[in-house]
Structure 1
Amino acid sequence: MVKPKIITTPSGDRLAILPLADYERLVDAAAMAADIATYDEFHRKLSTGMEELVPAAFADRIIDGENKIKVWREFRNLSARELADKAEISAAFLSQIESGARDGSFDTIKKIAAALGITVDDLA
C-alpha cells in the first residue's frame, strides 16, 4: 500500500489521499471484519443457547405460508394438547388458531410463544 498524501482543507480538516485500489482494499477489509464479528457473535449465542438453528424444511413451511404456531409446535415435537397445556389454553382453541378459524389475542399469542421458547416476533 502506498503511503497516503495528507492535505489540509481551507476549513482545517486533514484528509488522506490514497490510490483507489488501496481505498477499495480497506473497504473490503472493513466489510470482512464486520462479517467475521457477526459470525463470531452468532456462534457465541448459539453455544449459549441464545440462538438456534432451524432446519430448512421447517423454515420453508413458514415461508410457504403454513401456520407458524403449528410449524414451531411440530419443530419442538409437541402435540397440540401439550402446547395448549403449556400455554394454559384449551386444545380446541389452539386448534382453531392453527387452522386460521380464530385469531388469538396478543396475550394468548404471548403465552404460546413463551411455551414454544420463542418470541412473539417469531410468530408475526
Structure 2
Amino acid sequence: MGDIQKLVIDGKSYVLLSEEDFEDLIDGLKADAIMARVAAGEETFPHELIKELSESDNPMRIYRKYRGMTVAQLAEAVGISQPHLSDIENNKKAGSVDVLMRIAKTLRVDLDDLVVWNQEDD
C-alpha cells in the first residue's frame, strides 16, 4: 500500500489514497466477505467442475456425477422413473418445473444452474 494522506476539509476528516490502493482495499473487503461465507458453510466448487460446466450443454449430468449419483439413484430420489430422468438429462424432454426443482434440490444446486440458457433468447 502506498502513501495515505489524512486531510481535513471544512472540519471533516478525509483519507486520500491512490486509486490502485483503493481498488486493493475493495478487493480485500470482497475477498473477506467471500471467505466469511465459505467459513459459514457455503459450498464451493473445484475449478475442474466449473470448467466442465462452462464447456458443456448438460449441467444436470455434470452435477449428478459430481454428487456421485447414478441416473437410477437421482431418479429414485426425485421420485420419477429412470427413463424419464434420462430423457430430461439428454434434452429429449424438457421436464416440468416441479421435477426440475426437485432435481435441483436433490443435487443441492439452484434451478438456474440446471438450465442452459440460449444466448439468442435474451
2:7 matched to which residue of 1?
4
Aligned residues: 111
C-alpha contact (below 8 Å) 2:78/2:106 kept by paired residues: yes
Measure, in 2, the Cα distance between the counterparts of 1:121 and 1:102: 17
- Pick 1 or 2: higher relative contact order, CA cutoff 8 A, min separation 6: 2
2:114 matched to which residue of 1?
123
- 1:60/1:17 CA distance change after superposition, 3 Å: closer
C-alpha contact (below 8 Å) 2:53/2:62 kept by paired residues: yes
Match of 1:37 among 20, 32, 46: 32
- 1:113/1:32 CA distance change after superposition, 3 Å: closer
- Structure 1 unpaired stretches of 5+: 8-13
- Two-structure CA RMSD over aligned residues (Å): 2.5
Match of 1:58 among 21, 42, 49: 49
- Structure 2 unpaired stretches of 5+: 116-122
Measure, in 1, the Cα distance between the counterparts of 2:74 and 2:22: 49
After TM superposition, the score normalised by the length of structure 1 is: 0.72
Larger radius of gyration: 1
Q: How high is the sequence identity, in percent, across the aligned residues? A: 23
